Amino acid sequence: MIDFTLSEEQKLLIEMTRSFVEKEMVPNEDELERTNQLSPQLASSLKEKSMDLGLHACNLPTKVGGGGLDAVSVMLIEKELGRTSLAMAECAHRPLNILAACEGEQVEQFLKPTLAGKKRDCIAMTEPGAGSDLRSMRCRAELADDEWNINGEKHFISQASVSDYCVLFAATGEEETSKGIKKRISAFLVDFKDPGVEVASGYRNVSHRAYTNNILRFNDVRIPGWRIMGPEGDGFRLVNEWLGPTRLTVAATCVARAERAYEIALKYASEREQFGQKIGKFQGISFPLADMATEIKLANLMLIETAWKIDQGTVTTEDCAMAKLYCSEMLSRIADQALQTVGGMGLMEELPLERIWRDARIERIWDGTSEIQRHIISRGLLRPLGA
């Protein structure tokens, strides 16, 4: 049986989140975009309200103390939050899914305070010399007397400046694989108050104003043995198990922005007159609108199907890669076409189109570039055939 009907609860979640975004976030977009800053007062008020609404940590399972929403519902929430500037949407924080893998002391020291909104997490994988090729990372952790000693550097770490700790990926040794010797990667919980951790400013970024990225330096950082997540060398398995589905979050955000851009273009085409008629009467404007609507419909179907498969436990890495690839590239096409539909005004800061167009660019790069998504998908196609 195939049924695309949303439950009453899911409809209410959409309504509630949309109203929160429209009332509390959208009116602050102009200021945020103009100043490239999110005031701490606004950030904490948005966080408080999102906690009251139950949006905070809604993605984590109830057995660890999260909201326990199914993947379809989380995706629907992400789509509503995705309509506005990321820095504000992120105040309704959904912690990293990987935190559900916390055990023992990790639960008390990291997971519980995160769920209570007292600590904030971020993820540190990328290095100046190790982007797509994460296994080439140089940051390393060595075990001695039940303490890990960490040295190395990470960059492009989103929101580290407003976080309390990171899930850090570091090399803990080497192993022989069918492709030669590769580094063994493990995940650690590293508190930014741990001696030897430096959270430095990152780069200025054309996408996502007020959403910081930072450089992290680890200089002889000694952390207790229990801060490793899972067994030593388990880092890549954790990434695949917990972080693959987070690509759906990126995909949902992309569809949200594409919808907002399309809505503006559609309205403009129905109102703006040139040569004595509505510009929507020109096929040069109306046919791209038809293409946009069709692409958005397809993207929504991918979101629903992938989220549904996560809930069924049947999702594959390729499913998440396809959703992320298609939705992020679709957003770029639609942001550009929506801007073209509006003409010169599309580039002006009076409309959110220039922001959506700027912000769209990063979605094809982070959480695995489009090329890496194509690599994942194509390996899934060819490997079973022995190629």
Ligand X SMILES: Cc1cc2nc3c(=O)[nH]c(=O)nc-3n(C[C@H](O)[C@H](O)[C@H](O)COP(=O)(O)OP(=O)(O)OC[C@H]3O[C@@H](n4cnc5c(N)ncnc54)[C@H](O)[C@@H]3O)c2cc1C
Q: Which positions lie near ligand X, rule CB under 6 A?
A: 122-126, 131-132, 156-158, 205, 213, 362, 365-369, 371-372, 375
For ligand X, the closer CB: 131 or 346? 131
Q: How far is the CB of 161 from ligand X (least distance, A)?
A: 12
User: Taking every pair of C-alpha atoms in the chain, what is the biggest distance, in angstroms?
Assistant: 81
d(CA 371, CA 379): 12
Tell me how far, at minimum, the Cβ of 365 lies from ligand X, in Å.
Answer: 5
CB of 296 to ligand X, least distance (A): 25
Residue type present at position 290? A
- The dihedral built from the CA positions of residue 326, 235, 142 and 103, taken in this order, carries a sign that is positive
Nearest to 121 by CA among 195, 204, 205, 57: 57
Least gap, CB of 133 to ligand X (angstroms): 6
Considering the complex, state which of residue 84 and residue 337 has its C-beta at the smaller distance from ligand X.
84
Q: How far is the CB of 19 from ligand X (least distance, A)?
A: 29
CB of 21 to ligand X, least distance (A): 22
Toward ligand X, which CB reaches closer, 262 or 357? 357
Which lies closer to ligand X via its Cβ, residue 213 or residue 253? 213
Toward ligand X, which CB reaches closer, 73 or 126?
Answer: 126
Residue (304 or 372) nearer to ligand X, CB: 372
Which structure tokens are listed for 68? 């326990």
Give the residue nearest to ligand X (CB): 131
Q: How far apart are CA 65 and CA 95, in angstroms?
A: 12
User: Which of these, 300, 299, 296, 298, lies nearest to 262 by C-alpha position?
Assistant: 296
Give CA–CA dist 67/73, Å, rounded.
Answer: 11
DSSP annotation of 163: -
Nearer to ligand X, 272 or 361 (CB): 361
Collapsing DSSP states into helix, strand and coil, what is residue 105?
helix
Cα–Cα separations (whole angstroms), residue 122 to 7, 166, 206, 250? 32, 5, 21, 16
**Which residues fall within 8 angstroms of residue 341, CB to CB, at 6 or more apart?**
265, 268, 269, 279, 285, 288, 289
What CA–CA distance (Å, rounded) separates 52 from 40?
18
- Return the closest-CA partner of residue 51 out of 91, 9, 111, 98: 91
Q: Which is nearer to ligand X, 153 or 234 (CB)?
A: 153
Helix residue spans in the chain (DSSP H): 8-20, 29-35, 40-52, 71-81, 86-89, 105-106, 112-115, 235-238, 246-271, 283-312, 317-342, 353-363, 370-382
Residue 249 CB, nearest approach to ligand X (Å): 13
Whether 353 and 342 have beta carbons less than 8 Å apart is answered as: yes
Closer by beta carbon to ligand X, 325 or else 335:
325
Smallest distance, ligand X to C-beta of residue 239, A = 10
CB closer to ligand X, 216 vs 342: 216
How far is Cα of residue 34 from the mean position of the Cα atoms in its chain? 23
What is the rounded distance in angstroms from the CA atom of residue 191 to the CA atom of residue 168? 10
Query: Shortest distance, CB of residue 374 to ligand X, whole angstroms?
Result: 8
Minimum separation from the CB atom of position 199 to ligand X (A): 13
Residue 81: alpha-carbon gap to chain centroid? 11
